[in-house]
Chain A
Amino acid sequence: MKQIKLKRILYSDTTWAFVLLLPNFLGFLIFLIIPMIISFGMSFVSWDLFGPVRWVGFDNYIELFLEDQVFRRVFWNTMYFTAVTVPIGIVLSLFLALAMDQKIIGIKFFRIAYFMPVISSMIAVAIVWQWIYNPEFGLLNYFLGLIGIEGPSWLSDVFWAMPAIIVVSIWQGLGFNMLLFLAGLQGISEVYYEAAEVDGAGWFEKFWNITIPLLAPTTFFVMVMAAIGAFQAFDAVYLMTAGGPARATSVLAHYLYQNAFQYFRMGYASALAYVLFFIVLIFTLIQLRRQRSWLL
Chain B
Amino acid sequence: MNNKEAVMDIKYRVNGLIPKFYVIMKIIKKRKYISKALAYLFLSVGASVMITPFLWMIGTSLKSLHEVFVFPPTLFGEQLRWENYLRISDRFPFLQFFFNSLRITVVVVISQVLTSSMAGFTFARLRFKFRDHLFALYLATMMVPVHVTLIPNFILMRHLGLIDTHASLILPALVTAFGTFLMRQFFLTIPAALEDAGKIDGCTPFGIYWRIFLPLSKPAVATLSVFVFMGMWNQFLQPLIFINTKDLMTLPLGLAFTQGFYSTDWPVLMSGTVLSLLPVIIAFLLAQDFFIRGVTLSGLKGE
B197 at the interface (CB under 8 A from A): no
| A128-B53, A131-B56, A183-B299 known; A253 vs B147 contact (CB < 8 Å) | yes
A222 to B296, CA, bound (A): 11
Is A16's beta carbon under 8 Å from chain B? yes
Contacts of A31 in B (CB 8 A): 149, 153, 171-172, 174-175
Note all chain A residues with C-beta closer than 8 A to B220.
none
Is the Cβ of B280 less than 8 Å from the Cβ of A120? yes
Chain A residues near B138 (CB-CB < 8 A): 28
Q: Is the CB of A24 within 8 A of B237?
A: no
Q: Which residue of chain B has the shortest Cβ distance to A168 in the bound complex?
A: B53
A142 touches B73 (CB 8 A): yes
- Chain B residue nearest in CB terms to A260: B151
Q: Does A289 contact B (CB under 8 A)?
A: no
A129 neighbours in B (Cβ, 8 Å): 53
Question: Do B237 and A234 touch across chains, with their CB atoms under 8 A apart?
Answer: yes
- The answer to whether B177 has its CB under 8 Å from any CB of chain A is yes
**Given the complex of chains A and B, what is the CA–CA distance between A253 and B237 in angstroms?**
10
Instruction: Pick from A35, A176, A179, A276 the residue with the most CB of B within 10 Å.
Output: A35
Closest beta carbon of chain A to B9's beta carbon, Å: 13
Nearest B residue (CB) for A129: B53
Roughly how many angstroms separate A287 CA and B299 CA in the complex, as a whole number?
Answer: 12
B115 in contact (CB, < 8 A): yes
Looking at the assembled complex, report how far the CB atom of A93 sits from the nearest CB atom of chain B, in whole angstroms. 10
A-B contact count (CB 8 A): 295
A123 touches which one: B51, B145, B146, B252 (CB < 8 A)? B252
CB distance from A246 to the nearest CB of B (A): 20
Q: Is A63 interfacial (CB-CB < 8 Å)?
A: no
Interface size class of A (residues with CB under 8 A): 35 or more
A13 touches B126 (CB 8 A): yes
Evaluate contact between B280 and A39: CB separation under 8 angstroms.
Answer: no
CA distance A100 to B116 in the complex (A): 33
What mask results when residues 142 to 160 of chain B are scored 1 for a CB within 8 Å of chain A, else 0?
A: 0111111111111110000
Cβ contact within 8 Å between B175 and A24: yes
- Contact between B73 and A137, CB atoms less than 8 A apart: yes
Given contacts A273-B148, A277-B144, contact A218 B302 (CB under 8 A): yes
A238 to B251, CA, bound (A): 16
B24 to chain A, nearest CB (A): 11
Least CB distance from A190 to B in Å reads 10
B296 with A23: CB separation less than 8 A = no
Q: Which of B12-20, B81-89, B204-212 contacts A (4 or more CB under 8 A)?
A: B204-212
> Apart from A38-B152, A119-B234, A124-B276, what 15 extra A-B contacts exist at CB < 8 Å?
A16-B205, A17-B126, A20-B205, A24-B118, A35-B151, A38-B155, A116-B54, A119-B277, A128-B273, A131-B266, A138-B73, A139-B56, A184-B303, A224-B302, A256-B147
Query: Can you identify 11 A-B contacts, CB atoms within 8 angstroms?
Result: A17-B131, A24-B116, A99-B42, A128-B53, A137-B68, A142-B73, A171-B50, A194-B4, A203-B35, A270-B151, A273-B151
Nearest 5 pairs between A and B by C-beta? Answer: A221-B302, A27-B175, A35-B152, A24-B119, A99-B39
